[in-house]
């Protein structure tokens, strides 16, 4: 990898790209694949991404600062509203907008409305439409889908089919995004791949395992608060509290004989050891807080306020 000084040539391009879309279109999967590290957790559950996450891709000629955003959706609770505001704020601040959709499914109304909202000219950044999951799509329907995108947003710069899971066409996407970045030096050190702290990564990795192990409304009504994070050099000690939104969810998460919590803790610890590069001692427990997801003060304390 080039040094920061070598990345300051006049031909170097650098800027932010907002990844936008409804929930579960593959924004986090795409960013993780491009970065080559798991900087955003990925689950099949809606609203997995709750706040703005930077993923920094640096090559010899460019630095693309991806901003992974919460899926844009409707919801009456404060957490839902905060997540949507975070996504739109990221769009306003970005240099380029990458608007993603799931090409393996028919175009739904929320996706259509999102495309039309950004196509209306209120934001003047270059727009690139990313049709993801083409590895699962009916190939005969792909060309008509691309034509449909051109009709919905004729002012977009490109319409690119990709598979974030397999890496298909991601080089073409990176090259297209780079065209619209300003000529300027790298903003971040070339060795950085995210702006998240180790403490934030710990909370996200625990929450990912909760999402993967639970069903229905339980994942959305859970959050993780890191109460202690101590780095001893060769080992990191972490104490994490899993907040649940209902008393009845607590035994479901803990599981028979504590088996559910043990599985969550073991898998989260293994993932953290891999990304942090040292041994991790992780202790977790469950606490009931029935209105945390609809209380702005508590959301701010958890780093989920609209300003984050």
222-236 pLDDT, tens per residue?
A: 889 999 999 999 999
Give the contacts of 219 (CB within 8 A, at least 6 positions apart).
43, 45, 210, 211
Give the contacts of 18 (CB within 8 A, at least 6 positions apart).
67, 69, 87, 90, 91, 93, 94, 96, 97, 98
Q: What SS3 state is found at 305? A: coil
Average pLDDT over every residue of 64-89: 79
Residue 308 — very low, low, confident or very high, per pLDDT cuts 50/70/90? very low
Residue 215 — very low, low, confident or very high, per pLDDT cuts 50/70/90? low
Q: What is the model's pLDDT at position 271?
A: 92
Q: Which residues of 197-206 are buried (b: 16+ CB within 10 A; e: fewer)?
A: eebbbbbbbb
Average pLDDT over every residue of 37-61: 82
Q: What is the model's pLDDT at position 8?
A: 53
| Ordered domains of the chain (ranges, CATH) | 6-179 (3.40.50.300), 198-301 (3.30.300.20)
Percentage of the chain modeled with pLDDT above 70: 90
Q: What is the model's pLDDT at position 216?
A: 60
Average pLDDT over every residue of 152-172: 97
Q: What separation, in Å, do the N-terminal and C-terminal C-alpha atoms of the chain show?
A: 31
With 90 as the cut, is the pLDDT of residue 78 above it? no
With 70 as the cut, is the pLDDT of residue 192 above it? yes
Q: CA-CA distance, 125 to 100, in Å (whole number)? A: 15
Average pLDDT over every residue of 53-59: 94
Out of 63-67, 214-218, 242-246, the most confident range is 63-67
Residue-wise pLDDT for 14-28, tens only, equals 999 999 999 899 999
Average pLDDT over every residue of 68-90: 77
Pair type for strands 222-231 and 235-244: antiparallel
């Amino acid at each position: 990898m080039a040094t920061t000084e070598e990345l300051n040539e006049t031909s170097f391009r650098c800027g932010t790209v907002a990844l936008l879309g409804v929930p579960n279109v593959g924004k986090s999967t795409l960013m993780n694949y491009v970065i080559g590290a798991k900087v955003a957790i990925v689950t099949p559950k809606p609203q997995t991404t709750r706040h703005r996450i930077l993923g920094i891709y640096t090559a010899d000629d460019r630095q693309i600062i991806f901003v992974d955003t919460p899926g844009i959706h409707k919801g009456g609770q404060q957490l839902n509203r905060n997540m949507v505001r975070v996504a739109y704020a990221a769009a306003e601040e970005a240099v380029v907008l990458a608007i993603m959709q799931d090409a393996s499914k028919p175009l739904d109304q929320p996706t259509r409305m999102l495309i039309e909202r950004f196509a209306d000219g209120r934001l003047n950044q270059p727009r690139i439409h990313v049709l993801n999951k083409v590895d699962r799509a009916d190939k005969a329907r792909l060309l008509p889908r691309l034509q449909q995108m051109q009709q919905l947003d004729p002012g977009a710069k490109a319409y690119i089919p990709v598979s974030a899971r397999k890496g298909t066409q991601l080089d073409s996407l990176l090259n297209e995004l780079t065209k619209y970045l300003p000529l300027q030096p790298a903003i971040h050190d070339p060795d950085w791949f995210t702006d998240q702290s180790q403490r934030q990564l710990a909370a996200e990795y625990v929450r990912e395992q909760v999402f993967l192990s639970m069903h229905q409304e339980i994942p959305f009504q859970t959050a993780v608060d890191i109460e202690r994070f101590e780095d001893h050099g060769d080992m990191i000690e972490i104490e994490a509290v899993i907040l649940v939104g209902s008393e009845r969810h607590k035994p479901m998460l803990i599981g028979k004989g504590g088996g559910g919590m043990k599985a969550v803790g073991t898998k989260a610890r293994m993932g953290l050891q891999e990304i942090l590069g040292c041994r991790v001692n992780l202790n977790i427990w469950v606490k009931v807080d029935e209105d945390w997801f609809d209380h702005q003060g508590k959301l701010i304390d958890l780093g989920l306020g609209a300003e984050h």
